[in-house]
Structure 1
């Protein structure tokens, strides 16, 4: 009998069940808990092909933790993550079902009720993920499974996100490492994705379910990307699909070239699909894998966390020792060293919310702790919490001796948080002001000035403002070359090459 590979001394791989550009998926067995599982492997050879293997490893661990934070029935449970030799692995719930690509291949175009039920469940998953500051980046039919009960599972959050911008970059041969058939225009242009990029991909998936064919097709990846950038999608009813006007309009809204013209968030998509879902009944569907089944007990997404959060309620004032304050700070840094950013941020948040502890902190020390809290939240992917803390730091800057450099840093991080949250219009406005302020206050910091301009250019590309982005990038190349700053000059040239390739 062949010897099966055992991962981390515990997970026995039994048979391969999938393979993609970013790794392999195996049916496996947890020998400790006596249960079947799925193991996704990111082999060392795949990691070695990236520009910065160590960064990929760190991102993989971070994004696996973020994925585990998305507690939703439509996301396979994450049981474990780590490394085995030079390979990275993710242990997940094993799903008994069929992926959406195979479902459409077998059945052809799906009925409107089925497509709406699958689309609504995907929207529910995206709502939960986006509220946790996690963007999928590679949503497509092969990453969506429908189990035997009709419940939709969205796969591959962690690994797609771990590779970050490298997933979608164009290579020198004009090949893409992402999935061009489902890629948002701004993602193809800039290599970055936001929640509304996922919504574009959902529009592609909905169109394919209802039509039986992809929105756009082409022989070469670059030609396909050009169609997503420039060609308007054909309305479903013009393709001969029997579909309601409202669903057709939703699909077209999701496929808008401008991210700001798409639905505001996944919650809105779910709400617009509600009229096409079955009403709750007392009987279940007799068809195995019927995606309308779960709506006999509707799977609505949780309420959005975008609402105004209540102020933290401080516990009753008690005596807090200096030793305890120092110990909490040291413990937070130990947690960060282990990559446990969420736990570190929560520790500092609790410390600042303690009125007795806060009363003993000088203004400068309180600022230092809050800066760490904001930074740890950002590193942990909780961009909304980070945004809140950086705004507090900026508002409190006038109360003490905060340097102009620090104030600019707070403003830069606020813009970065907004960009990560998909609030591009506001982030662009913030960065435009920041670029001017930096030039006036800190003209000698050329490298930082180049970095700000690069950030602004990336967002402009993302919002289809290529001409303005090109002017900024040309300026970065000129200034960086004069200052002999190789790294920003190389990044600017890389973005210019991408613009040139996509403009052909």
Structure 2
């Protein structure tokens, strides 16, 4: 269309301002009312498209016009007019002064938006969806490009181009999903859209979860270049929690996004109004976070249903392209090997079901492996000397070289990566440590099994890293699971089990569950004294936790006694000037002061006394 084109003698097209899958959007002037508007024109059918498919495209456009024209809400783009002119279908909308979320991310070079902006956008979009869903309309293509933030801060949903009426799920809808006319954008499609099953308002909530994930972290939840991999990610893979990408996100926002991204619709918020409520409550009330997301399901050996896990994707997905996607942030990681698991002897099962021994390394590789063992011990020495940053880098490079020679899942490779994470945690880089711990835990689970001591050690450190990041509820869930496994595998009195019980007690105190924390710490201290001895460093650490919980509970007399005993033991074992001894004496003095203050306030004033 030329710039001088006038539609129906009324709308003069001035300049193109956007293009989409269905057509072009133009800045235009309404000559009758003297105002600027946006005009969306359906692009002509492709030459290879048969007449029936072209008819379906036109029907979709008319459907959009009828649906959108009936929506009146501040969070939905206003539709003024629609029709057909010289064989071209058009839709006249309000001209928005703002930028869509895709442009906002592009201009920010895919850095995440401020948390306050994410929350504001989430609440406004939820309010608009609540309205449209109550009108029986499901958008079905929510994505950053279809959400515009105006210069005054108002957020509007645009382009109900593939919306459908919720009460019309039958033949009319199916006619609009003919093979070759796939609906939705891969990065933001719900699992039920991908599987071709019934779609309702909860599909929009899933897509909104994808959008919120991207504006909160800078990347979509499944940021892969292959559209099939993206679709499989939505259908089968548990997303990385947003807080792992961005640790400063509030706990409740991380929780809300993950709830929106649940694979099953009935595990998401039931409607947009409930989503609004959860965001509002989260801003004012510390939320109880759910347990850690379950492990991604193992790849089944055979399809479990027409569109179930492991089954081929619907035929209409074969022509899809990824479309616009974020390019920065998390690197693209190819899917892990989901074939036959590795044995505990580090051998793979071959096609005949046997377990051949791995071939012996050649002389050069053997020499390099020997050198790597020496480098590993040097890295351990750096950590022993407290040179944690150097240790982290040394373990990282050893792990990379071991992965090259032995494989990414080899136990020695995983040992190096575990040690690198431990060093990262000691340097305060808890988010990086958590990410590595999770990867190592997943690999050790596959290679060694769920109850292997090394698997449990990494999961335990994962829980500790969660606690350092303030995710105490998640940490509690994981500590509890690891403790049960420790007791099952090694018994209740094993030192590793006792360390897990100690960590659980510490985390209970962080949660404010002081009575439970006291009981757990006290019982652990008693057992540690019996198993390890009363002067063992681990025993003293747990006794210090007992004293800490007593002090937080304002049980000053008991805290004073416990700190006094701890200080005396530390003085004998470490000397009077050791920092740990001085810390215990300082805590003892604070408890004595608070106890004296408590006693003073309890004494009656002179004017309140009466002679007997």
Q: TM-score band (shorter)?
A: 0.5 to 0.7
Is 1:138 the counterpart of 2:141? The answer is yes
Question: Which deviations, in whole Å up to 9, do the C-alpha atoms of 1:170-191 show, x marking residues without a partner?
Answer: 75xxx96631001101101107
Match of 1:83 in 2: 84
1:111 equivalenced with 2:117 (yes/no): no
Higher normalized contact order (CA 8 Å, seq sep 6+, divided by chain length): 1
**Aligned-residue offset at 1:272:** 1.3
- Name the counterpart of 1:153: 156
C-alpha contact (below 8 Å) 2:210/2:261 kept by paired residues: yes
SS in 2 for 1:272: helix
CA change 1:169–1:203 in 2 (3 A) is: farther
Question: Does 1:39 pair with 2:39?
Answer: yes
1:148/1:470 Cα in 2 relative to 1: closer, same or farther (>3 Å)? Answer: closer
Q: What is the Cα-based RMSD across aligned positions, in Å?
A: 3.3
Q: Counterpart of 1:410?
A: none
Equivalent in 189, 205, 209 of residue 183 of structure 1 = 189
Contact 1:200 1:255 in 2 (8 A): yes
Give the alignment of 1:202-241 within 5 angstroms: 202-241=208-247
* Kept in 2: contact 1:169–1:177 (CA 8 A): no
Q: Distance in 2 between matches of 1:177 and 1:234?
A: 26
1:444 paired residue number: none
Q: Write the distance in 2 (CA, Å) between the matches of 1:256 and 1:6.
A: 47
Cα gap change, 1:136 to 1:3, in 2 (>3 Å): closer
The alpha-carbon distance between structure 1 residues 495 and 179, as it changes in their structure 2 partners (threshold 3 A), is closer
The answer on 1:129 being equivalent to 2:135 is no
Helix, strand or coil for the counterpart of 1:98? strand
Scaled by the length of structure 1, the TM-score of the pair is: 0.52
Give the corresponding residue for 1:474: none
Alignment of 1:378-397 (within 5 A): none
CA contact (8 A) 2:56 2:176 kept: no
- Identify if the C-alpha distance between structure 1 residues 47 and 178 changes in structure 2 by more than 3 Å, giving closer, same or farther: farther
Paired residues in the alignment total 290
Structure-2 change in CA distance of 1:496 and 1:30 (3 Å) = closer
CA shift for structure 1 position 501: 11
Which residue in the other structure is 2:14 paired with?
14
Computing the radius of gyration over CA atoms, which structure comes out larger, 1 or 2?
2
User: What secondary structure, in the 3-state scheme, does the structure 2 residue paired with 1:44 have?
Assistant: coil
Q: Match of 1:45, SS?
A: coil
- After superposition, the C-alpha distances for 1:393-450 in whole angstroms (9 at most, x for unaligned) are xxxxxxxxxxxxxxxxxxxxxxxxxxxxxxxxxxxxxxxxxxxxxxxxxxxxxxxxxx
Give, in whole Å, the separation in 2 of the partners of 1:500 and 1:31.
45
Kept after mapping to 1: 8 A contact 2:56/2:175: no
1:167/1:273 CA distance change after superposition, 3 Å:
farther
Q: Quick check: 2:123–2:276 contact (8 Å CA) kept in 1? A: yes
SS at match of 1:224: helix
Inter-CA distance 94–26: structure 2 relative to 1 (3 Å threshold)? same
| Contact kept? 1:72, 1:125, Cα under 8 Å | yes
Contact 1:166–1:177 (8 Å) recurs in 2 = no
- How far does residue 58 in structure 1 lie from its aligned partner after superposition? 3.7
- Is 1:100 the equivalent of 2:106? no
1:161 positional shift? 4.9
- Normalised to the residue count of structure 2, the TM-score between the two structures is 0.44
**Alpha-carbon contact 1:22-1:159 (below 8 Å) kept:** no
SS in 2 for 1:115: helix
Hey, what's the Cα distance between the residues in 2 that align with 1:501 and 1:126?
Answer: 30
The 3 A distance-change label for structure 1 pair 195 and 139 is same
| 1:8 Cα deviation from its structure 2 partner | 1.5
1:267–1:257 distance in 2 versus 1, CA, 3 Å: same
Q: Which residue of 2 is the match for residue 66 of structure 1?
A: 67
Q: Is the 8 A contact 1:127 1:265 kept in 2?
A: yes
Contact kept in structure 2, 1:168 and 1:191, CA below 8 Å:
no
Structure 1: 5+ residue stretches without partners? 279-465, 472-493
Q: Is the 8 A contact 1:77 1:93 kept in 2?
A: yes
Match of 1:291 in 2: none
CA contact (8 A) 2:26 2:39 kept: yes
- Residue 159 of structure 1 deviates from its aligned partner by 5.1
* Contact kept in structure 2, 1:165 and 1:192, CA below 8 Å: no
Instruction: Give, in whole Å, the separation in 2 of the partners of 1:195 and 1:49.
Output: 31
1:263 alignment partner, SS class: coil
CA distance in 2, matches of 1:500, 1:55: 20
Measured in 1, the distance between the counterparts of 2:15 and 2:54 equals 27
Displacement of 1:93 in angstroms is 0.3
Distance 1:116 1:147, change over 3 A: same
| Alpha-carbon distance between aligned partners in 1 of 2:183 and 2:63, rounded to the nearest angstrom | 21
CA–CA separation in structure 2 for the residues paired with 1:127 and 1:45 = 34
CA distance in 1, matches of 2:70, 2:281: 30
